[in-house]
Structures are given as C-alpha cells and as structure tokens.
Structure 1
C-alpha cells in the first residue's frame, strides 16, 4: 500500500442536478442514471488502487454502497478551482485527485504514476491526466499545494493547458498520463461505453440510444 491519498470529486446523482448536458437527448432521470453508474464504476476502480487513504469529496450525499471504503468529505463552497484547491490544502502527503466522469478508469491508466511514486526517488513531483475536451481527469502532487490550482479557470477548452502551465511555472516536473474522455455529452457516453462492453454502464447507454434513436456522432 502506497503512502498515497486518492480523492474522488463527485456530485450527488439527482435528476436535474447532475449531467444536465446529457439532456437532451436523455431525460433528467436518464442522465442521473448514467452519472450514478459512472460514479459507482469509478469508485470501484479506486478501491482497487494502491493507496493509504481514499476520500470521496461530495456535493450532496453519497449512497451507502458508494461510501464504502472511503472517508466522505463535503465540498467547500465556491467555484470549482476553489473546491479543488481546498482538497489539495487539506491533505498531507502524496495526493491523486480524479473525477466521477471516467468510468473507463483503470490501473493501467495510472500505472506510470504508481511506478514512479513507489520508488525512493520519484522523478516527477506532479502528474497530469489530460481530457479530450481540453480539461483534465486527474491531477496529482507529491506535496499538495492548493495555490497551484486556485485561480485556474475551469470547464473551458484551455483549462488543461492552463493547469499544466501553472505546474510548470511552479517548477513541478510533471508526468503526463494517457488522455481520456470525460462524459460531458451523450456522444461521449457512447464512445466510453464502446470501451466497456458487457458492463451495466454500456447496457444503459445502449438502451438510451435505442429509446431515443441516437446515432453515434461522426
């Protein structure tokens, strides 16, 4: 078990409050279902990762089955950069932060970080997981510093580049993880489901596509 804290940032999966960009074509209830499946799959993956401590940092209340194995912590008020920075300020020791929108997340995606930080002399003080939408799905620091996140404009096509630039400007030697797709649109959900055959998530996406006759974007 590594001296590592893994934090999952999540939102309670209530219709009309989560994944609103999936509607249309989905109903609010359908969007909440995919969000819940994505969150539950992400948490199940994180339970299998080598870590000393696991945090579930929630906006809202998690289901009991989702909270299992995690210390549940409320998100602080404020903008997303403020909320993420607060997590990095609250943790001592190596911290890896991931979101709830990548149900395809696996040990393989994080293997470079785990191998590096398992050594006595890690090569990288930070790791960064870029997302296809221009943001990021993972951010890790050996010595967490919220000031390196606070003030970065979130949810834009340049968020990832700005966050990576902030790390470099602070002298952080940063490793880059594989690029992953966040579930921001139903097209994203369909692409992610294609990589997760046989899962409940893939079945729910397929059922929604059939119900609403949604074609895969070209």
Structure 2
C-alpha cells in the first residue's frame, strides 16, 4: 500500500472582492485577485513537485479549469473555516483511507522540498503542524483525520494555532518551520522578499509594493 499522504490545497477561486480583501487598499480588488491567483499557482506547483498518493484541490468553485492536470477537484462544504477544514480532511480521507496533508493558498513561498519534509514527518507522527506568524497555521497533516479535531476551533485569531495544537494533545506532533501568510500588503512584501523566484513575487513587483499608494 502507498504510505505517502494525500496532499490537499484548500482554496477559494480568485475573484475580485472575494479573496485577499485585506490587500485592498492599497491594491484594487482586481489586483488582489491577481495576487491570489498567482499565490495559488505557486502553491499548486509546490504540491505537484511533492511525491503524494493523490493531489486534491478543495475549492468553493470546482468548475472547469479549477486546477491543473494531476489534481482531483472537489467542492468545499461547511460554513466557517473550521467546518471547511474539517470536511476537507474527512472527504479526502474517505476516498483512500490514507493520511492527509493540507495547506492553504496563503503561503506561495512553500516548496516541494518543504512539503516532502512534512509528508515524511506524517509517516512517522500522528500529526504535522506548520505555525504561521499571525498565530494561525499554514499546514496541518493528520494520519487519521477526525472532524472533532477541527470543529469549533476559533479561526483567524492570534490564538488559533495554540487552540489547534491543544486539540492534538496526546498525539505525536511534528512541527514545521514558521511561515508568514499573505494577509496584508506588509506580509505580501515580506513573502515576496523571502521567495523572489515565485510567480507571486513577480506579480507583486509588477504591480508595485503598495507602500507609495
């Protein structure tokens, strides 16, 4: 049996006014959506470069062209982010009964090397946790997903990561490096500086850093 995890990207379809709204201002809704689209493409590239039992995009708009070849596409379900995360794990795990490694679309600086490290850790631990600089998390891996590990965790707060880790007490947890989510213009600049090779960084440079707007 394939012991590699399934890798999931949880994402919104990049539409103006619906994604990266904290980038507006200084960027227009259209520019924010463009940055989100490039961040998602960078993320999918990193996942494509990572050995996996399956690669899955869980999206709010699973229409044609949602993901490149090699990805399965399924619809998100649930209301709050905790529900969307919980059911993404549940739905993907149910397909193959294999561990699930999940990332979002807010960290275009991730690489196949970093995800491979997380995937390897998930073969040796019950969970893998990637903390984010804003107090949340950019990656979560579970060998045996359980909705109860996520449902009710308060999201988008400075203590989100700490609360999620509390849910994992009693399990073996491997911790990944701290990363910065692209939440606002300052974070976008910081991410682009750390990952100048990405599509996201190139698009940010073309649009301008936003500081003078």
TM-score normalised by the chain length of structure 2: 0.90
Structure 1 residues 56 and 210: CA distance shift in structure 2, 3 A: closer
CA contact (8 A) 1:56 1:67 kept: no
Contact conserved, 2:78 with 2:87, CA < 8 A, in 1?
A: no
Distance 1:212 1:181 in 2: 19
Q: Which residue of 1 aligns with 2:171?
A: 172
For residues 18 and 65 of structure 1, the distance between their equivalents in structure 2, rounded to whole angstroms, comes to 15
1:161 corresponds in structure 2 to 162
| Unpaired runs of at least 5, structure 1 | none
Report the counterpart of residue 94 of structure 1 in structure 2. 99
Q: Summarize the Cα distance change of 1:211–1:127 in structure 2 as closer, same or farther, 3 Å threshold.
A: closer
- How far did residue 2 of structure 1 move? 4.4
Partner of 2:19: 18
Once the two structures are TM-superposed, the CA of residue 110 in structure 1 deviates from its matched residue by 3.3
Measured in 1, the distance between the counterparts of 2:64 and 2:186 equals: 27
The structural deviation recorded for 1:205 is 1.0
**Matches of residues 3-42 of structure 1 in structure 2 within 5 Å?**
3-42=4-43
For the aligned residue pairs, the C-alpha RMSD in angstroms reads: 1.9
CA–CA separation in structure 2 for the residues paired with 1:189 and 1:63: 29
2:75 corresponds to 1:74: yes
CA distance in 2, matches of 1:196, 1:109: 13
Distance 1:143 1:194, change over 3 A: same
Misfit runs of 4+, over 4 Å: none
Equivalents in 2 of 1:149, 1:110: separation in Å?
Answer: 21
TM-score, length-scaled by structure 1:
0.88
SS in 2 for 1:66: coil
Q: Deviation of residue 204 (structure 1)?
A: 1.7
Aligned-pair CA distance for 1:3: 2.8
Is the Cα contact below 8 Å between 1:26 and 1:212 reproduced in 2?
no
Q: Where do 5+ consecutive residues of structure 2 fail to align?
A: none
Alpha carbons of 1:62 and 1:138: their partners in 2 closer, same or farther (altered >3 Å)? farther
Structure 2 CA distance for aligned equivalents of residues 138 and 74 of structure 1: 19
1:143 deviation in Å? 1.0
- C-alpha separation in 2, matches of 1:65 and 1:88: 19
For residue 64 of structure 1, report the CA deviation from its aligned partner. 1.9
The total of aligned residue pairs comes to 208
CA contact (8 A) 1:11 1:58 kept: yes
